[in-house]
């Protein structure tokens, strides 16, 4: 079966039972988000290699409202580009049409990079992609706050635990640090843990 459930968590894999199931596909993520946006639901999607320190939904909604954004993505503290570690799409006819065209482009050009495509089609960077779809609905894209709130292991962060909502472990091996970092967060809440990025790196290295 393509769907499974563990408590309140549902898992959907259209490739279940096929040789491709082990590899997965980026298209699965975007296809599911695409359907939900067309159903009129705001969608927040994040990579599996992320750790949520608190429910980020309210903060993401506030950020989208303040920026007047239709689409928000995580960023890179050390680079001016969007990162698909977290993707938020506000449901509207405009954003649904935009997502349909993005997904069709990604499906038709599998050699392209999904992240570069989002950067280009949101007019966030000056990168180029092949066979850019046109016309595209005018949607406003933006980046989540990446210095303290939606941080990643690439480029670091400014170390304010009180503002941290989400941490993206960009390096594959960094998932091994999750238990240590969870304990570090608990220690910080009790005023005895790491307070700076440098101190967190010591915990991360273990």
CB 45 within 8 A of CB 12: no
- Token pair listed for 111: 């050699």
Q: What pTM does this model have?
A: 0.77
User: Of 101 and 178, which is predicted with more confidence?
Assistant: 101
- Spatial neighbors of 170 by CB under 8 A, at least 6 apart, are 49, 85, 152, 153, 154
pLDDT tens figures, 148-182: 999 998 778 888 888 999 999 886 555 566 676 67
Residue 76 confidence (pLDDT): 85
pLDDT tens figures, 46-94: 988 899 999 999 999 999 999 999 999 999 888 888 999 999 999 999 9
């Amino acid at each position: 079966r393509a769907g499974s459930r563990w408590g309140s968590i549902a898992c959907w894999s259209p490739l279940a039972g096929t040789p491709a199931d082990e590899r997965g596909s980026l298209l699965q993520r975007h296809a599911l988000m695409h359907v939900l946006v067309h159903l009129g639901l705001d969608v927040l999607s994040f990579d599996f290699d992320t750790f949520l320190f608190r429910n980020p939904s309210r903060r993401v909604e506030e950020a989208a409202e303040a920026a007047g954004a239709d689409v928000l993505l995580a960023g890179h503290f050390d680079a001016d580009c969007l990162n698909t570690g977290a993707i938020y799409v506000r449901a509207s006819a405009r954003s649904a049409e935009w997502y349909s065209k993005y997904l069709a482009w990604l499906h038709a050009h599998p050699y392209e990079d999904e992240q570069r495509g989002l950067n280009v089609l949101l007019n966030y960077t000056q990168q180029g992609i092949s066979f850019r779809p046109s016309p595209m609905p005018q949607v406003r894209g933006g980046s989540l706050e990446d210095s303290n709130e939606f941080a990643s292991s690439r480029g670091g962060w400014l170390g304010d635990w009180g503002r941290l909502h989400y941490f993206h472990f960009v390096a594959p091996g960094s998932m091994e640090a999750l238990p240590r970092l969870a304990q570090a967060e608990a220690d910080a809440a009790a005023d005895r843990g790491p307070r700076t990025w440098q101190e967190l790196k010591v915990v991360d290295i273990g």
